[in-house]
Amino acid sequence: MQNRSVWERACGLTRTVVEGVAFDDEAQAIVVSARPVARARNRCGHCGRRSPGYDGGAGRRRWRALDLGTTKVFIEAPAPRVRCHEHGVTVAAVPWARHDAGHTRDFDDLAAWLAVRTSKSAVMELLRVAWRTVGSIVTRVNADIDATVDRLDGLRRIGIDEISYKRGHRYLIVVVDHDTGRLVWAGPGRNDTALNVFFDELGPERSALLTHVSADMADWIARVVAQRAPNAVRSADPFHVVAWAIEALDIERRRAWNTAKGRRSTRGLARQGRSTGDAQRISHARYALWKNPDDLTGRQRHQLDWIAKTSPRLWRAYLLKEGLRYVFAVKGDEGKQALDRWTSWARRSRMPAFVQLQRRIAAHRDAIDVALDTGLSQGLIESTNTKIRLLTRIAFGFHGYQPLVALAMLALGAHPPRLPGRI
Ligand SMILES: [Zn+2]
């Protein structure tokens, strides 16, 4: 008797009767035979409701539990089926594991905790599990949290963005809460339908409480937001606006490179020219032009100095990009005045890419002014995207998008996984 309760404690078992313990030589593991206590028996695996028994199911089965020291542990028990009023014939619930899981609840929780805090190889080597298994585990743990808390409650100011992964073949829509800095929703796709799923889950009452929605200027996002969040002011995402300027700068950079190579224009007939010294230097200065001046290395600073002296037009394009970044750095009324000056500067620049950019900015001026007033989304969406992009890399071995979404929610949401056995 004494021993049994020690084993119950050691394996973190509750509402469970330990029948015996043995060492399985073949599996090189401790096998704890158990059964749920009477009141935990004959319950539906989905809803936990007490249900009439159906049959013995597939007989006894094993659940991987947390290791004891260096030794693997399995809980072994019968897995009968019940007939639930609502869910039909299903495997009965057990107190130590989630439904349809091959691992105990504690094992799941530890794996999820490690998955958001350590590397892929650390999780696999420490727990001795396949990476795909970890994908199923984080999906289960996340679904469990979803069933107990509503992550969409209390939202007022949100940011919406799309990110691509699997080399641009897959897309996720991500929604962040500007007030908590947390990821609150992620789902597959990049169109109206996909974004409408979020607003369906949010529901009309909570959608009406949204005051600010920041997003890039994609028309489909604007359309859905206007329809579904009628009281929200749309705010431009400064990060995206600056990204437009970097695109325009890049067009100028390519033009300068082509000129240096001896072509008359990007569209002119190519006279097969070698990449001469100047063209090469322009090509190498790519990152120096893109980067924020504060992050430049000594060498990159040198490259910019050289461009300032030798390519006045490309240098002006660079200053225009930096001018737009300055607008969002100062924000507020000062930012708006700076943007007015920037606009007329770009209009007179005689660089088609910037003349166009200036028109694009004028078309979205209201949303940009909201961003300057509220200071919304500086960095939050950008940093969330960066983190999700890192997660997509480790989620590569997962099956489908669900484990990726689950991992992202666990890592960046308001309800991180808990260590087993701790409150
Ligand atoms: Zn049920």
Residues 202-217: tens digit of each pLDDT: 999 999 999 999 987 7
Q: What is the pLDDT of residue 396?
A: 75
Do 99 and 136 touch, CB atoms closer than 8 A?
Answer: no
Find the 103 Cα to ligand 1 centroid distance in Å. Answer: 21
Find the 400 Cα to ligand 1 centroid distance in Å. Answer: 27
Find the 75 Cα to ligand 1 centroid distance in Å. Answer: 24
Find the 343 Cα to ligand 1 centroid distance in Å. Answer: 62
Count each helix (H run) and each strand (E run) in the chain, helices first: 16, 12
Look at strands 81-84 and 53-55 and give their pairing.
Answer: antiparallel
Find the 53 Cα to ligand 1 centroid distance in Å. Answer: 12
Find the 100 Cα to ligand 1 centroid distance in Å. Answer: 13
- Domain-by-domain residue ranges, the chain? 1-97, 103-201+218-228+389-423, 238-374
Find the 73 Cα to ligand 1 centroid distance in Å. Answer: 29
Find the 356 Cα to ligand 1 centroid distance in Å. Answer: 59
Query: By CB neighbour count within 10 A (0-12 exposed, 13-18 middle, 19+ buried), where does 272 fall?
Result: exposed
Rounded percentage of the chain residues whose pLDDT exceeds 70 = 96
Find the 80 Cα to ligand 1 centroid distance in Å. Answer: 14
pLDDT of residue 160 exceeding 90? yes
Do 338 and 330 touch, CB atoms closer than 8 A?
Answer: yes
Q: What is the pLDDT of residue 182?
A: 95
Predicted confidence band of residue 275 (pLDDT cuts 50, 70, 90): low
Find the 262 Cα to ligand 1 centroid distance in Å. Answer: 74
Residues 6+ apart with CB under 8 A from 331: 372, 373, 375
Q: What is the dihedral sign for C-alpha 46, 52, 56, 62? A: positive
Find the 86 Cα to ligand 1 centroid distance in Å. Answer: 5
pLDDT of residue 269 exceeding 50? no
Predicted confidence band of residue 378 (pLDDT cuts 50, 70, 90): low
Residue from 93, 105, 140, 148 nearest 13 by CA: 105
pLDDT of residue 238 exceeding 90? no
Side-chain half-sphere exposure of 338, counting CA atoms within 13 A: 18
Instruction: Give the Å distances, CA to CA, from 391 to 136, 172, 396, 417.
Output: 15, 12, 9, 16
Find the 104 Cα to ligand 1 centroid distance in Å. Answer: 20
Q: What is the pLDDT of residue 360?
A: 93
Residue from 316, 124, 326 nearest 241 by CA: 326
Find the 98 Cα to ligand 1 centroid distance in Å. Answer: 14
* Residue 300 structure tokens: 């990159």
Find the 110 Cα to ligand 1 centroid distance in Å. Answer: 27
Q: In this predicted model, what pLDDT tens digit does every residue of 72-89 receive, in sequence order?
A: 999 999 999 999 999 999
Q: What is the pLDDT of residue 49?
A: 95
Find the 93 Cα to ligand 1 centroid distance in Å. Answer: 10
C-alpha span between 301 and 92 (Å, rounded): 67
Find the 415 Cα to ligand 1 centroid distance in Å. Answer: 26
Find the 47 Cα to ligand 1 centroid distance in Å. Answer: 4
Virtual torsion, Cα 11, 17, 19, 20, nearest 10 deg:
10
Q: In this predicted model, what pLDDT tens digit does every residue of 35-71 receive, in sequence order?
A: 999 999 999 999 999 999 999 999 999 999 999 999 9
Find the 137 Cα to ligand 1 centroid distance in Å. Answer: 21
Q: What is the pLDDT of residue 306?
A: 93
Find the 413 Cα to ligand 1 centroid distance in Å. Answer: 29
Find the 174 Cα to ligand 1 centroid distance in Å. Answer: 32
C-alpha span between 280 and 285 (Å, rounded): 9
Average pLDDT, the chain: 91
Buried/exposed 122-150: b ≥16 CB within 10 Å, e otherwise = ebbeebebebebbbbbbbbbbebbeeeee
In what helix (H) or strand (E) does residue 17 lie, and over which residues does it extend?
strand 16-24
Average confidence (pLDDT) over 228-257: 91
Residue from 92, 128, 132 nearest 107 by CA: 128
